[in-house]
Structure 1
């Protein structure tokens, strides 16, 4: 199985820590589509847009942004990162992503998650006490829609469907559906039992943070009769690629540190990030993928060896990094990092690159 490398964005609206300039929503939306175009041009495999329902993000409707990206790209896969399925209608999610799939000739994907940000629950009238039950039920319905049409289904949180015609259908008949897992072992086990691909998220911490998560996921998949070692696993992680190791860290740090404070305020205090902590998180054994092309290559290969990954998606510009720096990192990732990683992984697995 080939190793895929991509980029993602939340489209955050954060004031530049150096100039104080705050991008307009129009500017950030247009920059998001330009990021997708450049990622496609340099040969990356995946472009993702995350979902947030706050005024300091432009990603409240990722499907619309991905549809715009579909019209401006030719081969890159287009995914949510993630769809907060607990507060969405699975019928509408399918309709939107099947439309993206038609626009892009079969390039749409969904990463379904519970949501680490929870502002969408009160916004759409859901009770946070139903957090886990909502996700389980809605994922069941989304998978049933994917697997056939018409759809007959009954649950607790929405009206039943009786021979419902859910359209359009996907360009190739189906859409890959991954489950986003932030660190919950129970979520990993449930995903493994279903035989679904797992998209791990690692904000900060050691590279080994998800070892037990992956182990339990594969155990659950095997016990349920799935081919556990062939199920795809992705890592979604913050990072930046620069010409040099020091240059990459110096460029990323002020924006990342600002974003950790400004865009994580709903999660409470404790996200101030001193430079010494950032540098430690950039070391070979820690999670951040930041450095020179060779450093990022080495770290991606280490991730692959540790987890048996099939995909890595990097969030490169978090915290309002200027577009020129963001695009340069995308270009380096596509032209200097991805080809080497794909070749090395193929050699490890004894397959043609």
Structure 2
């Protein structure tokens, strides 16, 4: 089975002429409407990112997910990601347990170290502890998910002594995924712990990630985990439309502008149209095109990596809400049925 869903970061649209940033209030209302449509067209899951910047609307994914839980019926609702390194695992668990109860058992946590670092100074953490913070807090989060009463001692947080954690999720625990970029250490850790992994493939050629998938699967097996429970996914920048050239031309200004905004803070060169065109090719990381192109490329990713989940990251640069709604309709009503039929053969 291949789960098909959407991830978003809550990008705010920025006027290219004036530089005026869309009101976060307006974008949040649009996001709720978009998630409602995802549920209606039968997509399997939605993931909301966490950012603490002027160009993103959402600092607390769990708040958006709680709102979405009240207007949806079946779709799984998770983070994409929660920056675990700068969060309190106890509070994070309680918040997602609350979402799980509101949604009747549809909540998930996707934990990540965070490629954006604004949350570290905001919450009083030192970036020199970047790796140890994540490893310690992931261990605590997993302990909380497993046991109602917890005893725990670590370096970065006060100890817990016979502490009971409430509320509990519907089934007393929730799915916890780990999001990874491209580090071998991260995939080995996830495999050792038996956790499902979401690989962010947001540049270059996806085939270059193949060795990491193999290392992850080997670590999962070597640590005695049941392959019947094995789950792995990819998160890829995507946008869908009726006509391939038309949707590619429509999406490029939004996408390139956001790549340049992010790149300016990271020392990247200006984003080029040639990068976009390569990304859309069979060998690239973008799934931006018509129904048949998108089906073919999603199936290519599934076959290459043995995926159980595909996440289309669809709001890079914040395309117009009306275009987002149409892309979601194409994905749920046309692309998803064809992909599922091919996978189920």
TM-score when scaled to structure 1? 0.95
Q: For 1:266 and 1:60, locate their aligned partners in 2 and report how far apart those are by CA, in whole Å.
A: 19
Q: CA deviation at 1:265?
A: 3.8
Q: Secondary structure at the match of 1:72?
A: coil
Q: Deviations over 1:89-126 (max 9, x none)?
A: 00000000000000000000011000011111111111
Structure-1 separation of matches of 2:267 and 2:16: 21
Tell whether the 8 Å contact from 2:176 to 2:195 is kept in structure 1 after alignment: yes
Hey, what does 1:245 align to over in structure 2?
A: 244
Q: 3-state DSSP class of the match of 1:168? A: coil
Residues 9 and 315, structure 2, Cα contact 8 Å, conserved in 1: no
Distance 1:18 1:331 in 2: 30
Cα contact 1:178–1:198 (8 A) shared by 2: yes
How many angstroms does 1:64 deviate by? 0.4
The match for 1:187 is: 186
* Cα distance in structure 2, aligned partners of 1:322 and 1:295: 22
Post-superposition offset of 1:308: 0.2
Specify the alignment match of 2:38 in structure 1. Answer: 39
Mapping of residues 335-346 of structure 1, within 5 Å: 335-346=333-344
SS of 1:225 mapped into structure 2: coil
Aligned length: 345
Deviation by residue 1:5-39 (Cα, 9 ceiling, x = unmatched): 11121111231448866321111111111110111
CA distance in 2, matches of 1:19, 1:323: 20
Task: Confirm or deny: 8 A CA contact 1:219 1:228 kept in the other structure.
Answer: no
Please report how far the alpha carbon of residue 264 of structure 1 lies from its aligned counterpart in structure 2 after TM superposition. Answer: 4.5
Question: Would the aligned equivalents of 2:149 and 2:165 in 1 still touch at CA under 8 Å?
Answer: yes
The aligned residue for residue 89 of structure 1 is: 88
Cα deviation, residue 244, structure 1: 1.4
SS in structure 2 at match of 1:164: strand
Aligned pairs for 1:155-234 (under 5 A) are 155-228=154-227, 230-234=229-233
Where structure 2 has 5 or more consecutive residues not aligned to the other structure, the ranges are none
Shift of 1:232: 0.4
Alpha-carbon deviation of 1:230? 4.5
Query: Which has the larger displacement, 67-76 or 18-27?
Result: 18-27
Corresponding residue of 2:23 = 24
What displacement does 1:307 show? Answer: 0.3
2:133 and 2:124 mapped to 1: Cα distance?
12
Q: Deviations over 1:227-260 (max 9, x none)?
A: 3474100101101111011112111111000111
Q: Which residue does the alignment assign to 2:136?
A: 137
Q: Distance in 2 between matches of 1:67 and 1:266?
A: 32
For 1:6 and 1:319, locate their aligned partners in 2 and report how far apart those are by CA, in whole Å.
19
Is the CA contact 2:254–2:317 (under 8 Å) kept in the aligned structure 1?
yes
- Does residue 285 of structure 1 match 2:283? yes
The unaligned stretches of length 5 or more in structure 1 are: 348-353
Q: Verify the 8 A CA contact 2:111 2:178 in the aligned structure 1.
A: yes
Provide the secondary structure at the position in 1 that maps to 2:173: coil
Relative distance call for 1:294 and 1:17 in structure 2 (3 A) is farther
The equivalences for 1:27-106 within 5 A come to: 27-106=26-105
Given the superposition, is the C-alpha separation of residues 202 and 128 from structure 1 closer, same or farther in structure 2, using an over 3 Å criterion?
A: same
CA contact (8 A) 1:218 1:229 kept: no
Given that residues 201 and 237 in structure 1 are in contact (C-alpha distance below 8 angstroms), is that contact kept between their aligned partners in structure 2?
A: yes
CA RMSD of superposed structures (Å): 1.4
Residues 136, 226 of structure 1: alpha-carbon distance in 2 compared, 3 angstrom cutoff: same
Partner of 1:316: 314
Q: Match of 2:304?
A: 306
